[in-house]
Amino acid sequence: MRLTFDVKKGKLRLDGLIRLLIDFSLLLVSIVTAFVVRVFYEIWRLNKIGGSIDFASTFGHFLRDYVILGLIIPIVSIPIYYFSGFYTHGRSYTSRYKHILITFSVTTGYLLAATIYYFLSFPSIFPRSVLLVSWGLSLCLINGARLLKLMLVNSKVIEPGTTISKLSPKSKNVLVIGGAGYIGSVLVRQLLKRGYRVRVLDLLLYGEDSIKDIKSHPDFELLVGDFRNVADVVEAMQGVDSVIHLGAIVGDPACSLNDKVTIEVNLAAVRMIAEIAKANNVNKFIFASTCSVYGASDHILDEYSSLNPLSLYAKTKLGAEKVLISLADSNFKPTICRLATVYGLSYRPRFDLVVNLLTAKAFFDGKITVYGGDQWRPFIHVKDVANAFITLLEAPQDIVGNEIFNIGSDAENYLIMDVAKIIKEIIPSAELIIENNISDKRNYRVNFSKIKDYVGFKTKYTVRDGVLEIKKAVEDKLILDYHSPKYSNYNYLRDASIIKKLETPTTVEYLSKVLTLEIEM
């Protein structure tokens, strides 16, 4: 359990409160020590000149000053520390900036306390030496406490984000990039249920409806930002143990809207994110790729099969895989997940996916239109995708690190016509229409035995389950108009204002130009 007070969220978590109490205690220690030094100095000075000291009067004077300063300095300083983000955003600050901020805040607190003390106690001698010594001690102790914690974290004595005891594996801090999306919104909830602390970095391009009901969860943190910008990624990466990178422009039509933006988001940003994760000694880095990298093939494909990406979407994902492989070393061992075609209901519903779209058309339009129908596709439910990520997250790193896994089930390889027939069985009133003109030439079956053999992962849901789930959702009026642009990546992103938002300058803009050449070669 964490008890932390956040200005924006109005929450008080235990780790923030403990840091606050520690700083309060360090301020008191600094003040007491400064007064003791002052007393001994006075005794030494009087003895040196042969004078005498009235201990009762001197200590009475010092005691009065101590009580006043002992109250003023912490009362003034702690709010300054709080509003500077010591107890709510401290883990998001880089070390150098954190210590600059501490120095500034401690100094500001002492200057303000000195001003207040002067006007409250003007008849007395102003204790400048006490303030100076106390200020120096406070800087050393408060900065030192942070440095000590950093040393303990780096030496693995404690885990990032903890105050005393080592976290159990299920209490680790996970950054989910793109956590408000179709897969991410399901994954984040499953992680929270399993006891993880989850931070999401998301631009909220599609809005926050998918996560608004969990924003107040004590183990959930949302950072609204663009993962193409280094500052946003550095902030999000602080204090996390693992990263699951889902953020992408997904789907061939959506990626075709703007090649430059697609390469920035799907490829260039991956390099930057991975380099930051590597520099931060992130334990696990799990990347969502796609089985579309296989392209068209009449063979059953596994992780060692030749690759033939046909679209920009598939090419950028394959490029990102190569980037991650090139960055791998003995400490940074990414895990690459090639996802089958996803289906099923999510907190951010999509109806630009084959199973979901055909089911919606059958229910609302009374038609199931199939183009060709003899193309093979592997399918997987969105909940199974989330379960796969968690399985890999919890698996030993020496088993899943530097590995590529197809994510799906051998039993869920279907002909598109077979999917249509399943929908027809469940919604018999719909008319099955077969068109011969085929625009999507992808045709592939995938072998998923590796992830089963390595970590024992098995899917729980079938295409039939997904169709029934979508049918129930529309019957319950949860989906009123599947044509709405918000349910389609392509239809939503082609809006001029959305594209303009994505075209804003980013950190990875130059890098994307270099990587564009690699894709074209």
Claim to verify: residue 352 and residue 230 sit in the same structural domain: yes
pLDDT(99) > 50:
yes
- Domain shared by 139 and 202, yes or no: no
Region at 377 (left for phi over 0; alpha for psi -120 to 50; beta for the rest)? beta
- The helix or strand, by DSSP H or E, that contains position 5, with its residue range, turns out to be none
Residues 127 and 262 in one domain: no
* Residue 52 domain flag: yes
Residue given tokens 């690759």 in the structure block: 307
Same domain, 176 and 145: no
Looking at the fold, whether 59 and 199 belong to one and the same domain comes out as no
Residue 322 forms part of a structural domain: yes
What is the dihedral angle through the alpha carbons of 78, 79, 82, 86, rounded to the nearest 10 degrees? Answer: -30
Distance of CA 323 to the CA centre of its chain: 20
CA dihedral 499, 314, 297, 353 (to 10 degrees): -50
396 and 358, same structural domain?
yes
Beta-carbon contacts of residue 465 (< 8 Å; ≥ 6 apart):
344, 381
pLDDT of 497:
73
Do 129 and 196 share a domain, yes or no? Answer: no
What is the C-alpha to C-alpha distance for residues 408 and 394, in angstroms, rounded to an integer? 18
- Per-residue pLDDT tens over the stretch 232-281: 999 999 989 999 999 999 999 999 999 999 999 999 999 999 999 999 99
Distance between CA atoms of 348 and 186, rounded to whole angstroms?
9
Phi, psi of 367, deg, nearest 5: -135, 140
Single out the residue in 131, 154, 177 at which a domain terminates. 154
Token digits for 352? 């630009």
Structure tokens at 14: 């235990």
Same-domain status, 366 and 488? yes
Q: What is the DSSP letter of 170?
A: G
Percent of the residues in the chain that have a pLDDT greater than 90, as a whole number? 53
Q: Is residue 30 domain-shared with residue 174, that is, in the same domain?
A: no
Q: How far apart are CA 296 and CA 420, in angstroms?
A: 21
Of 499, 481, 479, 501, the C-alpha closest to 490 is 499
Secondary structure of residue 405 in the 3-state scheme: strand
Average pLDDT, integer, range 412-431: 94
Using a 10 angstrom Cβ sphere, with 0-12 exposed, 13-18 middle and 19 or more buried, the burial of residue 487 is buried
Confidence of residue 94 (pLDDT cuts 50, 70, 90): very low
Total number of domains in the chain: 2
Same domain, 112 and 231: no
Q: pLDDT at position 163, please? A: 36
Residue 263 three-state SS: helix
Three-class DSSP category at 46: helix
Question: Residue 408: inside a domain, yes or no?
Answer: yes
Task: Give the Å distances, CA to CA, from 396 to 245, 283, 335, 392.
Answer: 19, 11, 12, 8
DSSP 424-443: HHHSTTSEEEEE-------E
Give tens-digit pLDDT for 18-55.
778 888 888 888 888 887 787 777 777 767 766 555 55
Angle between helices 382-394 and 184-193 (to 10 degrees): 50
Domain that holds residue 146: 14-154
> pTM value?
0.68
Q: Write down which residue in 99, 122, 154 finishes a domain.
A: 154
Is 234 part of any domain? Answer: yes
Q: Is the pLDDT of residue 473 over 70?
A: yes
**Is residue 30, in this structure, part of any structural domain at all?**
yes
Chain centroid to CA 117: 45
Residue 363 sits in a domain whose CATH number is: 3.40.50.720
pLDDT at 161: 46
Domain boundary among the residues 123, 154, 185 is at 154
Distances (CA, A) of 82 to 7, 212, 287, 290: 9, 26, 36, 44
Q: 352 and 226 share a domain?
A: yes
